[in-house]
Chains A and B, each alone.
Chain A
Amino acid sequence: EDQVTQSPEALRLQEGESSSLNCSYTVSGLRGLFWYRQDPGKGPEFLFTLYSAGEEKEKERLKATLTKKESFLHITAPKPEDSATYLCAVQAPSSNTGKLIFGQGTTLQVKP
């Protein structure tokens, strides 16, 4: 069964303290891995798509990487405005749809 697990569930950082969020996945063939940011009570905001192992993408203080079993979202020198829940999702070719299978998310709090 296709599955996504994110760790840790919650992370508290001081402003400027870099860290990484983990997304482990089990899927029968990966069509794409997606990272989203979600603020409380809002819809997820698209960040990155990764398609193959070794691929990396960057946006401001965020960098996403992908291996055959997991993805990391690296946050460099975070600011309080980076506080949010970060969701990882995979798309598998098990069905002919764009169905996304989400992890439960990592809630990040950055303190000034």
Chain B
Amino acid sequence: ETGVTQSPTHLIKTRGQQVTLRCSSQSGHNTVSWYQQALGQGPQFIFQYYREEENGRGNFPPRFSGLQFPNYSSELNVNALELDDSALYLCASSSKKNTEAFFGQGTRLTVV
């Protein structure tokens, strides 16, 4: 059984650019959630995808968007990057919408 994998592990972007982060969910999991974790803080919920549809969104602007594919992998897209977007972005998968979530190792995004 493979775990949750994210790519890339590290990324440096310039303010105003766009970025795409990728996540492969754990085998057998159809639900993917994305979180943003600033240094020294707990993760903050961005949104969740269930069976390729967005199923709930946190307090993040529309320039944060996502996709889920038929194989349940997912992408997080962020447009018009701001310095405050610098954070660890975490993907979590679960077998149902409301069960234990298992996290990937994260993507460290630095915006300069």
User: In whole angstroms, how far apart are the Cα atoms of A31 and B31 in the complex?
Assistant: 17
Q: Which of A12-20, A43-51, A55-63 contacts the other chain? A: A43-51
Residue of B nearest to A34 (CB): B100
Q: Which of B13-72 contact A (CB under 8 A)?
A: 31, 33, 35, 40-45, 48, 50, 55-56, 58
Return 20 A-B CB contacts under 8 Å, by A number. Answer: A34-B100, A41-B88, A41-B106, A43-B6, A43-B90, A43-B104, A44-B43, A87-B42, A89-B43, A91-B98, A96-B97, A97-B33, A97-B56, A98-B31, A98-B97, A100-B43, A101-B45, A102-B44, A103-B42, A105-B41
Q: How far is the CB of B6 from chain A (nearest CB, A)?
A: 8
Q: Does B2 contact A (CB under 8 A)?
A: no
User: In whole angstroms, how far apart are the Cα atoms of A41 and B88 in the complex?
Assistant: 8
Q: How large is the interface on B (under 10, 10 to 19, 20 to 34, 35 or more residues)?
A: 20 to 34
Contact B55 A96 (CB under 8 A): yes
> Which of A4, A89, A95 contacts B56, CB < 8 Å?
A95
Q: Identify the A interface with B (CB < 8 A).
A: 4, 31-32, 34, 36, 41-46, 49, 87, 89, 91, 95-105
Residue of A nearest to B94 (CB): A98
Residues of chain A within 8 A (CB-CB) of B31 are 98
Residues of chain B within 8 A (CB-CB) of A41 are 88, 106, 108
A-B pairs with lowest CB-CB distance, top 10: A97-B56, A102-B42, A43-B103, A99-B45, A43-B106, A43-B105, A44-B103, A98-B97, A98-B98, A97-B48
Contact A100 B98 (CB under 8 A): no
User: In whole angstroms, how far apart are the Cα atoms of A104 and B39 in the complex?
Assistant: 10
Q: Does B101 contact A (CB under 8 A)?
A: yes
Q: How far is the CB of A63 from chain B (nearest CB, A)?
A: 18
> Which of B44, B100, B106 contacts A49, CB < 8 Å?
B100
